[in-house]
Amino acid sequence: MADSKKPSFKYAPGGKFCPKCGARMAAHEDRYSCGRCAYTEWKTAAKGQGNAKDKGA
């Protein structure tokens, strides 16, 4: 008989769910990504991109 093992990871409370397919999203350093449908949500704006107001224009 096979040993039943529990997964070695735990879900973080309040994790994000994919708005497209409803699966739990993986939390990376700079983004959340869905492994099922490849939806990606960035945590912060990319470097070098900002409003024109921020650049004094």
Asked if residues 21 and 36 have their Cβ atoms less than 8 Å apart, the reply is yes
The whole model's pTM is what?
0.54
Amino acid at 41: E
Q: Which of 18, 16, 42 is nearest to 30 (CA)?
A: 42
Blockwise average pLDDT, block size 10, the chain, 57 residues: 61 81 91 93 69 47
Q: Which of 57, 10, 17 is nearest to 41 (CA)?
A: 17
| pLDDT in the model for residue 15 | 80
| pLDDT in the model for residue 54 | 46
| pLDDT in the model for residue 52 | 46
Q: Where are the domains of the chain?
A: 16-43
